[in-house]
Structure 1
Amino acid sequence: MTFQRIVVALLLLIVAGISAIGYFEWRIAVQARTLKAFVEGYVFNEAVMACEQAKSSTPFKWNGGKSTSVIGLNSVKPDKYNVFASYTLVADGVYCDYDPIKRKAEIGSSFLERE
């Protein structure tokens, strides 16, 4: 009988531990989404201005564009020391990657092939 009580107590502790981990993971995910939304809202105006002013053979027209969409904030970590961030906008089929750290826009570029 003592063995059964120990097994039940251990199972209850395991279930409680897994539940606590799930709760904290959910809370952190909510905070991460909130932070991402804040950063995207902060960067949006700068990205639009930089993309419209970027020199390219293909003009980027966010204002007055027929079909515009925000892909959003992306990041690539090519190694353990570097993270490259990009905020991507699409206007009438023309992609523009805005680097919020360098404050530089590249039109028609592929973010994954960037230096």
Structure 2
Amino acid sequence: MNFQRVTIGLIVLLVAGLAGSFYMNWKTLRLLQTTKAFVESAVFAEAVAACEKAQSTTPFKWNGGKQTAVIGLGSVRLNKDTVIASYTLFADGVYCDFNPIKRTADIGSNFLERELF
């Protein structure tokens, strides 16, 4: 009888612990999404301006573009100490990566073959 009570108690604690961990994970993900949305909205105008001013053989025209999209904020980890952030915009077949730290823009036409900062 004591074995059954101990087993049921452990199962209840396990379920409560799992529920608590899933809840904390959910809260953390919502906080990170909110922070990411805030950073993206703060960087957007500067990214558009830098991308339109960037020198390239393929011009980047956000204003007046027929097909525009915000790819969003991303990052590339070069090694364990270096993370490079980039904010990517797409306008009429041209991709532009904006580095919010260095405030530089790089334009490319193929998403997979672009050189990141």
TM range (shorter): over 0.9
User: In structure 1, what is the equivalent of residue 107 of structure 2?
Assistant: 107
Distance apart, 1:79 and its partner CA:
1.8
Give the aligned length. 115
Structure 2 stretches of 5 or more lacking a match?
A: none
CA–CA distance in 1 between the matches of 2:5 and 2:53?
71
Residues 85 and 101 of structure 2 are in contact (CA less than 8 Å); yes or no, is this contact kept in structure 1? Answer: yes
Deviates more, 1:76-85 or 1:49-58: 76-85
SS in 1 for 2:24: helix
- Identity fraction in percent: 57
Residue in structure 1 matched with residue 2 of structure 2 by the alignment: 2
Structure 1 residues without counterparts, runs of 5 or longer: none
Letter of the 1:114 counterpart: L
Distance 1:78 1:61 in 2: 30
SS in structure 2 at match of 1:86: strand
Aligned-pair CA distance for 1:83: 0.6
The aligned residue for residue 58 of structure 2 is 58
Task: State the TM-score, normalizing by the size of structure 1.
Answer: 0.95
TM-score normalised by length of structure 2 = 0.93
Counterparts of 1:105 and 1:91 in 2: how far apart (Å)?
A: 14
Aligned-pair Cα RMSD in Å: 1.4
Runs of 4+ in 1 over 4 A off after TM superposition: 109-112
